[in-house]
Chain A
Amino acid sequence: QSALTQPASVSGSPGQSITISCTGTSSDVGGYNYVSWYQQHPGKAPKLMIYDVSNRPSGVSNRFSGSKSGNTASLTISGLQAEDEADYYCSSYTSSSTLVIFGGGTELTVL
């Protein structure tokens, strides 16, 4: 099964809000509430930012929020800060044989 579809890159200025989309199908994003979002800085391990579509782990800033509509999940970052510049990946359960799939990743640039 193909990876979930994310934009290759997004950008925003400090203080602005941006949204990263993650599009799948009714077999994954649209059918289940098991979408997670990860932040990865260069050379570092991914960090869980959102799980189960919209839940934030303890310690993650409330500037990060998640939502879902149909087959598309979204990660919104408000009040952009320089430290938010990183790659972001979505992930979902899938009822296909693949079981767990990731998006291709989105590079966020803070201008």
Chain B
Amino acid sequence: QLQLRESGPGLVKPSETLSLTCTVSGDSITTNNHYWGWIRQPPGKGLEWIGSIYSGTTFYNPSLKSRVTIFVDTSKNQFSLRLSSVTAADTAVYFCARNLANCRGGPCYSRYFFGMDVWGQGTTVTVSS
């Protein structure tokens, strides 16, 4: 059974870089050409898409694009998020997730805007000095 698990510091100082890793277990991160993404949820608020990656192709929320980097390490079956110059507004629960793949009628393909069918449990990151 596919599982995702986020890991990283729970506390980051303002102006520093937030770094999180999502470890994929139960299958290879390259199976079926899925996109893999990050979503966050500030305390008591709704969901915000941060960005998604497939192989070397990335798509980012333009509101965060200047500060965000998402990359994959296939050898470790992981993908990671870096968010620079953080402020208190970046305090949130950060989730990693997998985008669905369409496998009907030929080779599987995925898109960053397909529904997200497998999620990590989420990790809380607080930005504070």
Contacts and interface: CB of A to CB of B under 8 A. Distances in A.
Contacts of B121: 44-45
B47 A46 contact: yes
A45 B49 CA distance: 14
Most buried by A among B112, B116, B122: B116
Contacts of A50: 115
Contacts of A91: 47, 49, 115
Contact of A46 (B48, B52, B113, B119): B119
What is the size category of the interface that chain B forms with chain A? Answer: 20 to 34
Interface stretch (A15-23, A71-79, A92-100): A92-100
A34 B114 contact: yes
Interface of A: 3, 34, 36, 38, 44-48, 50-52, 57, 89, 91-93, 97-105
Interface of B: 39, 46-49, 52, 59, 61-63, 95, 97, 100, 111-117, 119-122
Given A98-B61, A100-B113, 19 more contacts: A34-B113, A36-B114, A45-B95, A45-B122, A46-B39, A50-B115, A51-B100, A51-B114, A57-B100, A57-B115, A89-B47, A91-B47, A98-B63, A99-B59, A99-B61, A99-B62, A100-B112, A103-B46, A104-B46
